[in-house]
Structures are given as C-alpha cells and as structure tokens.
C-alpha cells in the first residue's frame, strides 16, 4: 500500500513538472525563438438528428482555429499536434 501511494505521488509530481516545463517552454519560447501560436483549418459539419433516428451530415464553412505549439493546452487553445489530427468538427443539432 505504501508503494502504491508513493508511486501515485511520484506520478503527480512528474505530471506537474512536465506541465510546468511545457508552459515555461511555450512562454519563454524555448528552444530558440519559436512561434507560440499556429493556425489549423478545421472542417465543420452540422449533424442533424432526424425523426427516424438517423443523422444527416451537412458541410459548413471551414473554420481557422488558433492552436499552441506545445504538448498540453495553454491559453485556452488546444495543442497544434492534436488539432492537426482532429480536423473534423461535428456540431450536434436537434434532439
């Protein structure tokens, strides 16, 4: 039981150090004057739920979203690596 508690505490400390280092790296532009923010074009689809329990997808205009060049989300923006892998966004409409 002690070992499990120490392991959990170690993981929490490791996460805090990693998140803090990621934030400082982004804030201070380490390494070498890198850009903090980027943009990714996201395809949007309206997902309309029909009465027969089917969903109809209608394309919407693409949206350019701001992202941060870091491992974790910061400044209320998602990381660019995540947004580039999830370029499709569904907006649920209806029931």
Average of per-residue pLDDT across 61-78? 94
Average of per-residue pLDDT across 42-65? 91
Domain count of the fold of the chain? 1
Average of per-residue pLDDT across 36-46? 94
Contact 93/49 with Cβ under 8 angstroms?
Answer: yes
**Secondary structure class of 50 (helix, strand, coil):** coil
Average of per-residue pLDDT across 27-40? 88
Nearest to 54 by CA among 10, 3, 94: 94
| Lookup: tokens for 16 | 């805090």
Average of per-residue pLDDT across 24-52? 90
Residue-range definition of the domain harbouring residue 44: 2-93
pLDDT computed for residue 29 by the predictor: 87
């Amino acid at each position: 039981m002690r070992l499990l508690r120490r392991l959990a505490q170690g993981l929490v400390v490791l996460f805090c150090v990693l998140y803090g280092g990621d934030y400082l790296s982004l804030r201070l532009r380490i390494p070498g004057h890198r850009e903090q923010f980027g943009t990714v074009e996201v395809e949007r689809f309206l997902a309309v739920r029909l009465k027969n329990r089917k969903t109809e997808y209608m394309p919407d205009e693409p949206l350019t979203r701001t992202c941060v060049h870091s491992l974790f989300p910061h400044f209320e923006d998602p990381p660019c690596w995540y947004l580039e892998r999830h370029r499709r966004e569904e907006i649920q409409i209806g029931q």
